[in-house]
């Protein structure tokens, strides 16, 4: 069993960044690389930021940092375009060199440096962001998180191969990094080796998850289904970490209608059916 992670949110601050590059990495996800203008945001792999324009014309929204901390301080975010969504639409329209506000770090979707257990990373859609940051850190022996050489399996779910962000990079890691395994499922492409949703696949893929630290990130329905599938396989509740990309309710409406998802009405994001 892994020791609980204690990460306080008390040391958050606001930082100025500039868009260094922007690219669509799937039909609905834009990756932004941000570079610091002044001070660099300190964070642990797996944490998230509050992101908005530098004049707060759009509401601040939570986005997981999609890379492990780097010497140049650059941050990547993977933003799914939510139809009618204010901040995600803005993030899909901003230009290189635009200045943005980054507040953080936040969250406990992190792993203790001293842990040695195997790690299972589960992501769907832009839920790849925090698990990619964790994978980068865990596989880098020069980082505290990577010192133990923990076994890391990254299981990613998309609809089709076009949603498989960084597939080539992860497949190359698989060939070159013995402690790493990458498994992909494409839920709308029967030609792929795996095309069933991750929660349903887990019992066939893993005999047991006893002693494994499990991380699941993405739409709420995906995350809760992964948690429900991991527990019967022996993963200890304390070892299952979740990051639900829920959508903030708009307080000026009485109710927020549920948005349909293959995982159930709680999942609000378009990629929920992956
Ligand atoms: C910890 C955390 C990490 C996250 N990380 C990521 C990430 O890495 N990448 C990512 O893409 N997302 C992430 N999210 C989700 C992200 O924070 C935003 O919620 C998401 O981008 C939508 O924000 P928005 O401003 O574009 O949409 P909003 O303007 O909030 O609208 C969202 C959707 O709901 C609809 N809606 C809102 N209110 C109502 C209402 N009252 N009635 C009817 N419809 C309504 C809108 O039309 C729209 O379709 C994360 C969330 C959390 C909590």
> Does any domain span residue 269?
no
pLDDT at 76: 98
Residue numbers of the domain that contains 102: 13-106
Nearest CA, atom 29, ligand 1: 85
Q: What is the pTM of this model?
A: 0.90
Task: Kindly give the distance from the C-alpha atom of residue 249 to the centroid of ligand 1, in angstroms, as a whole number.
Answer: 8
Mean pLDDT by 10 residues, the chain (274 residues): 50 96 98 97 98 96 98 98 96 98 97 96 98 98 96 97 98 97 96 94 97 97 97 97 82 48 42 43
Our count of domains for the chain comes to 2
Each residue of 84-122: b (16+ CB within 10 Å) or e?
Answer: ebebbebbbebeeebebbbbbbbbbbbbbeebebbbbbb
Task: Kindly give the distance from the C-alpha atom of residue 268 to the centroid of ligand 1, in angstroms, as a whole number.
Answer: 8
pLDDT at 271: 43
Distance CA 185, CA 194 (A): 5
Task: Kindly give the distance from the C-alpha atom of residue 259 to the centroid of ligand 1, in angstroms, as a whole number.
Answer: 11
* 133 and 220 fall within a common domain: yes
pLDDT at 112: 95
Q: Can you tell me which atom of ligand 1 is nearest the CA of 88?
A: 26
Task: Kindly give the distance from the C-alpha atom of residue 118 to the centroid of ligand 1, in angstroms, as a whole number.
Answer: 32
pLDDT at 89: 98
Nearest CA, atom 6, ligand 1: 63
pLDDT at 263: 46
pLDDT at 249: 58
Nearest CA, atom 44, ligand 1: 256
pLDDT at 247: 78
* 47 and 155 fall within a common domain: no
Domain CATH code at residue 216: 3.40.50.80
**Got the DSSP string for 46-68?**
T-EEEEEETT--S--EEEEB-S-
> Does any domain span residue 268?
no
pLDDT at 259: 46
> Does any domain span residue 274?
no
Ligand 1, pocket-test mutation among 131, 247, 257, 272, most atoms within 8 A of CB: 247
Domain CATH code at residue 25: 2.40.30.10
């Amino acid at each position: 069993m892994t020791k609980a992670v204690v990460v306080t949110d008390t040391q958050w601050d606001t930082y100025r960044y500039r868009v260094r590059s922007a690219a669509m990495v799937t039909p609905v996800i834009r990756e932004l690389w941000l570079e610091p203008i002044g001070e660099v945001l300190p964070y642990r792999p797996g944490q998230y930021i509050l992101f908005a324009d530098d004049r707060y014309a759009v509401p601040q929204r939570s986005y997981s940092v999609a890379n492990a901390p780097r010497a140049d301080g650059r941050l990547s975010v993977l933003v799914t375009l939510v139809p009618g969504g204010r901040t995600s639409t803005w993030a899909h329209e901003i230009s290189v060199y635009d200045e943005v506000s980054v507040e953080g770090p936040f969250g406990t979707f992190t792993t203790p440096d001293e842990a040695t257990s195997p790690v299972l990373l589960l992501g769907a859609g832009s839920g790849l962001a925090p698990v990619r940051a964790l994978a980068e850190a865990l596989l880098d022996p020069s980082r505290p998180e990577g010192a133990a050489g923990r076994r890391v399996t990254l299981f990613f779910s998309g609809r089709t191969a076009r949603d498989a962000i960084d597939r080539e990079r992860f497949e190359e890691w698989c060939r070159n990094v013995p402690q790493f395994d990458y498994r992909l499922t494409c839920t709308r492409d029967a030609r792929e080796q795996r095309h069933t949703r991750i929660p349903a696949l887990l019992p066939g893929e893993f005999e047991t998850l006893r002693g494994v630290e499990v991380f699941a990130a993405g739409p709420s329905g995906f995350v809760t289904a992964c948690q429900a599938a991991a527990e019967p396989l022996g993963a200890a509740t304390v070892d299952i970490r979740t990051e639900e990309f829920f959508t903030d309710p708009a307080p000026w409406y009485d109710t927020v209608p549920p948005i349909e998802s293959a995982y159930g009405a709680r999942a609000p994001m378009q990629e929920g059916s992956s």
